[in-house]
């Protein structure tokens, strides 16, 4: 089954404790991205990757890092989480960066930073 898998689904952590949210897709998609969803703000892109070893900042990249060492995986790293990073995070993948392709989303990770 074609899917985007995120882990964990729920995470509560303390300020400053490094964490990683994993994302994996089995569709051989080139393009992957991370979004955060906050009430009234919709989805905002954090980082994206057009292919292996090619990553770039989205609209709200501060406080986040990513890596793309393999095509299928695109982890999101919070080196020193802060309470304003409490949010619902979605990983998404697309076949490519061109316009006429839809995004496939993971199940989401609800992160709480206390």
Partner 1 sequence: AQSVSQHNHHVILSEAASLELGCNYSYGGTVNLFWYVQYPGQHLQLLLKYFSGDPLVKGIKGFEAEFIKSKFSFNLRKPSVQWSDTAEYFCAVYSSASKIIFGSGTRLSIRP
Could you list the residues that contact partner 1 (CB under 8 A)?
A: 31, 33, 35, 40-45, 48, 50, 58, 90, 92, 94, 97-100, 102-103, 105-108
Residue closer to partner 1, measured from CB, 19 or 32: 32
Nearest approach in angstroms of CB 74 to partner 1 is 14
29-65 b/e (C-beta count within 10 Å ≥ 16 → b): bbbbbbbbeeeeeebebbbbbbeeeebeebebbeebe
Residue closer to partner 1, measured from CB, 27 or 80: 27
**Integer Rg of the chain from CA:** 13
């Amino acid at each position: 089954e074609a899917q985007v898998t995120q882990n964990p689904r729920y995470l509560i952590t303390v300020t400053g404790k490094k964490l990683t949210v994993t994302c994996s897709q089995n569709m051989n998609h080139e393009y992957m991205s991370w979004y955060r969803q906050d009430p009234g703000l919709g989805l905002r892109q954090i980082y994206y990757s057009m292919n292996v070893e090619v990553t770039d900042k989205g609209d709200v990249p501060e406080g986040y890092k990513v890596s793309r060492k393999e095509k299928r995986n695109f982890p999101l790293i919070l080196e020193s989480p802060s309470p304003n990073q409490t949010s619902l995070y979605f990983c998404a993948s697309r076949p490519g960066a061109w316009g006429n392709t839809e995004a496939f989303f993971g199940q989401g990770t609800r992160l709480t930073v206390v």
